[in-house]
Amino acid sequence: MAPETTEERIVWVGLSLTYAFYLIGALYLAGPVIGWLLVLTMVKRLLSTEQPFRVPAPAMVWILGMLTMLVCIIVGHILQGLGTGQLIKSSIGWAKGWALLAIFILAGATLNIRPELIARAAMRVCLHTLCLLPLFVAAWILRLPETPYVSPLKIIGGPGPEFFAMSLYELDPQSGMPRWRLFTPWAPALGFVANIFFLLAFVEQDKKWRRIGVCASVAMILMSQSRLAILVLLLLIGVMFTLKYFKGPLLAFAAMVASLLFAFFGGWVLETLGSTYESIKSARADSTRVRAALGRIAVHRWQGEAPVWGHGVVERGPHLVEYMPIGSHHSWYGLLFVKGVVGFAALAIPLATSIFILGWCAIRRPGIERTGFFCALMLFLYTFGENLEILAYLIWPGLLCIGIAHKPDLGRDITNNQEIPS
C-alpha cells in the first residue's frame, strides 16, 4: 500500500506521522495544513484538466453550511461590537475548525483518494499506539510528571495549551484513577478518534492490520474511560451486525419478533435502560453536573440575548461550571450560543443530508457507502458530547470517508463492492 497521487501522499504522510507531529506539538497545526493543501490540490486539478470538475450535491450542502458559519461569525461580531481584530481572529479560527468539515468532505468527494490507503495509514497509527502504550502505562506506575512539556509552537495560537502538550497520563479528580488521552487534547477525544479507527479497521483488507486496528482502537477507548465512546462503540457494532446479517425478509421478520418481545418485556427493558443511564451519569457525577449547567446557561443566554446570530465568540462560564467555555462539551448548545439558530441549522442540514443519503445507500449495498454512513452517524452522536469544530483537526479521516462515500458511482468501484469483513 503506497500513495499514487499528490492528494494520497498528503493524506498518507499527514496521518501516518500522527505521533511525530504530536511529539513536537504540531498536531493541531497539521490538520488544517493537510486540509488546505488538499484545497490547493483541488484548485490545481481544476485549472490543469479539461475534464469537468463534479461536486456531489451533499458535498455542496456541506460547503454552503460551513460558509454560513462564517457569515454568522461576521454578523455576530458586528451586532455584538467585537471589533475588527476579534473578527480576524475568529475568522482564522473558522478556517481551522468548521471550514475543515466541508474541506475534507469535498476532498474525499472530488479527489482520487482510496479509502484503503486512509485505512492503512490509520492502522499504522494503531500499531504505533500499541507499541507506545507500555510506556504510557509505565509513566503512571512510576508517577512521572503527567505533562512533561508544552511545545513552544503554542505561541502560534490555539484553543489552549493542552493542544500543544505532551501528556503521559492524567488522573481523574473524582476517582483518582488514571486516564490516557495520548495524542488528543482530552481523554473523551481519544475515544472519538479511536471509534473512527475502529471503523477504518473494517475497510482494511489485510487481516493482520485489521486485527491491529481493532485491538488498538478498543484499547484506546477503554483507556480513555469515555462513557460516550463506549456507548458509541457498542452502537456501531450493533448497527454493523444488523446491516450485515439482517437483510430483506429476514429484517422484517426480526423487526416483528422484536416488536412482540418488546410488547411483553418493554416495561422491564425501559426501566433497566433508565437505571443503566443513571448509573452511567453517576459514574462521573461532577462531569455530568458541569455539562448540564453549561447547557442550561447556553440555552438561557441564547434565548434572551442573541437568538438569531448568536454572541459571535465563546465566553468563559462562571465558577459554577469551573470557568469552562459556555456551550462546550456539546456542539448544539455551543452553536446556539455562539452562532444562534442560523449556525445551528448550518450544521444540522448538512449532517442530516449525509446521514439520510448514506443511510439509504448503506442498506442497499456494502462498501465505502456503509463506512461513510457510520462516520456520519458518529459525528451526529458526538455532537452531544463534544464540539466538532475544535476536534476537526483530529477526525478528518472520517470526514474523508464521508466525502468518498458521496462520490457518485466511484465509491463502489474503489472497494469492489465488498462486504465488511467479519
What does the pLDDT look like over 151-186, one tens digit per residue? 888 888 777 888 898 889 888 777 778 889 999 998
231 vs 100 pLDDT, higher one:
100
Can you give the pLDDT at residue 322?
62
> Across all residues in the chain, what is the average pLDDT?
83
53 vs 10 pLDDT, higher one:
10
Can you give the pLDDT at residue 10?
95
Asked if residues 197 and 216 have their Cβ atoms less than 8 Å apart, the reply is yes
Alpha helices in 207-322 (DSSP H): 207-224, 227-245, 249-283, 285-305
Which one, of 191, 190, 188, 181, lies nearest residue 139 by Cα? 181
Percent composition of the chain: helix, strand, coil (DSSP 3-state, to 5): 70, 0, 25
Which residues on neighbouring strands pair with residue 165, listed in sequence order?
Answer: 150
CA dihedral 267, 271, 276, 282 (to 10 degrees): 160
Name the pTM for this structure: 0.86
Can you give the pLDDT at residue 153?
87
Give CA separation, 168 vs 144, 161, 193, 222, 272, in Å: 8, 15, 18, 16, 37
Lowest mean pLDDT across 10-14, 62-66, 134-138, 229-233: 229-233
Lowest mean pLDDT across 26-30, 301-305, 355-359: 301-305
Which residues on neighbouring strands pair with residue 149, listed in sequence order?
Answer: 166
Asked if residues 401 and 200 have their Cβ atoms less than 8 Å apart, the reply is yes
Asked if residues 192 and 391 have their Cβ atoms less than 8 Å apart, the reply is yes
* 3-state DSSP assignment of residue 169: coil
Chain centroid to CA 293: 24
Query: What amino acid occupies position 60?
Result: M
Q: Containing H/E element for 145?
A: none
Percentage of the chain exceeding pLDDT 70: 82
Confidence of residue 38 (pLDDT cuts 50, 70, 90): very high
378 vs 244 pLDDT, higher one:
378
Q: Burial, 50: exposed, middle or buried (Cβ in 10 Å; 0-12, 13-18, 19+)?
A: exposed
Asked if residues 401 and 407 have their Cβ atoms less than 8 Å apart, the reply is no
Can you give the pLDDT at residue 137?
92
Average pLDDT over residues 137-163: 87
216 vs 264 pLDDT, higher one:
216
Can you give the pLDDT at residue 416?
37
What does the pLDDT look like over 340-376, one tens digit per residue? 899 999 999 999 999 999 988 887 777 788 899 999 9
- Reading the block at residue 174, the C-alpha cell is 473524582
Can you give the pLDDT at residue 414?
37
Percentage of the chain exceeding pLDDT 90: 41
- Reading the block at residue 100, the C-alpha cell is 475543515
Most confident stretch, 206-215, 222-231, 252-261, 411-420: 206-215
Average pLDDT over residues 214-229: 91
CA 385 – CA 327 distance, rounded (Å): 11
Helix and strand numbers (H, E) in the chain are 17, 4
Domain boundaries of the chain, sorted by first residue: 6-42+61-415
Average pLDDT over residues 205-219: 93
DSSP state of 165: E
Can you give the pLDDT at residue 264?
57
Can you give the pLDDT at residue 413?
38
